[in-house]
Amino acid sequence: MKHAALLGTGSCLPQKVLTNNDLEKIVETSDEWITSRTGIHTRRIASRGEENFRLAARAAEKALEMADTRATEIELIIVATFSPHMMMPSTACFVQAEIGAENAFAYDVNAACSGFLYGLDLADKYIAARPDMKILLIGSETLSAHVDWSDRNTCILFGDGAGAVVLSGSDSRGVQASKLYSDGRLWNLLYMDSPESLNPDLVQKDRQGCHIQMSGRDVFKFAVRSMEDAVKKLLTQENLTVDDLALVIPHQANVRILNKLMERLGIPVDKVYINVDRYGNTSAASIPIALDEVNRQNGLQPGDTVLFCSFGGGFTWGALLMKW
């Protein structure tokens, strides 16, 4: 059976850089606090002309160029996001129009920070059924539009950006296996409400509006435990150990979560790709941005096994193995 393998990768980050020192002027915080608690130094913030779908489209164009593929060859566009350009139509439809992928069908998936892994798993299933299909999968977020800039617990963490991959079927490369999970009972530990309803009966009076809300400590503990569990189950299922992994590309939430997770898994830090220090947490975009950086630095060799893992609101989480 053929699996979804990479033909090309691309990414696009907004121009504007927001440093920890800049944040000191917005909320009561310090560079020292943010760096020691999260490992984040800077994040990118979108400006006019850098809307979610435009970041996504620029990342897609770079991935298509690397894949030597025309936009009209793409049959499916999936955008993973929880900060869509509009509620309707999907951001994927805006991307389709922007890049001229007129032969594709297009839709969004929302699994918060796990969206790219969910999308990769989905793309792999399409390709199992239709191996020649060319799929454009994008993770893209403009979280700066949904952060409460007076809440120091959350506004220091997030950033904007997009990453894209072009996928098609391969016998020897691509997605090997995945384990995905969610637990909707824990939704209220990390969420963003909908814009206020115009039906008064449906207004959520007890919620705090359309901003990211988070119980940081609970999220931290659950993120470490759940990703550890998903990775261990996946490796056991595939008869692999951590020694078989060439590289781990995790969701870039924060350095302390990643250090704790890798310590528990017994994975040395030099096997883990980290760029959260530069971009903050870009949710569904974080793995494809990191993947594009690794790819453009020729960080992997044919035959290498790469592990992806993620955690996000829902809660959603999971792990996925890919053969390079």
Contact residues for ligand COA, defined by CB under 6 A: 29, 33-34, 37-38, 113, 152-153, 156-157, 214, 216-217, 219-220, 223, 253-254, 257, 281, 311-312
Q: How far is the CB of 222 from ligand COA (least distance, A)?
A: 9
Helix %, strand %, coil % of the chain (to 5): 40, 25, 35
Which single residue brings its beta carbon nearest to ligand COA? Answer: 216
Considering the candidates 113, 211, 295, 309, report the single residue annotated as catalytic: 113
Considering the candidates 12, 281, 295, 309, report the single residue annotated as catalytic: 281
Q: DSSP letters along 252-293, please? A: -S-HHHHHHHHHHHT--GGGB---HHHH-B-GGGHHHHHHHH
- Strand order of the β-sheet with 135-142 is 3-12, 160-170, 135-142, 76-80, 105-109
Identity of the residue, 105 or 149, whose beta carbon is nearer to ligand COA in the bound complex: 149
Considering the candidates 251, 254, 295, 309, report the single residue annotated as catalytic: 251
Closest CA to 276 of 260, 252, 258: 252
Identity of the residue, 165 or 227, whose beta carbon is nearer to ligand COA in the bound complex: 227
Look up 93 and say whether it is catalytic: no
Q: How far is the CB of 154 from ligand COA (least distance, A)?
A: 8
Identity of the residue, 33 or 181, whose beta carbon is nearer to ligand COA in the bound complex: 33
Identity of the residue, 16 or 37, whose beta carbon is nearer to ligand COA in the bound complex: 37
Q: How far is the CB of 72 from ligand COA (least distance, A)?
A: 36
Q: How far is the CB of 254 from ligand COA (least distance, A)?
A: 5
Q: How far is the CB of 48 from ligand COA (least distance, A)?
A: 27
Look up 12 and say whether it is catalytic: no
Look up 281 and say whether it is catalytic: yes
Closest CA to 144 of 43, 54, 219, 49: 43
Contact 123, 263 (CB under 8 A): no
Identity of the residue, 64 or 157, whose beta carbon is nearer to ligand COA in the bound complex: 157
Cα gap 191→181, rounded to integer Å: 17
Instruction: Give the 3-state secondary structure of 26-56.
Output: CCCCCHHHHHHHHCCCEEEECCCCCCHHHHH
Q: Which residues are catalytic?
A: 113, 251, 281
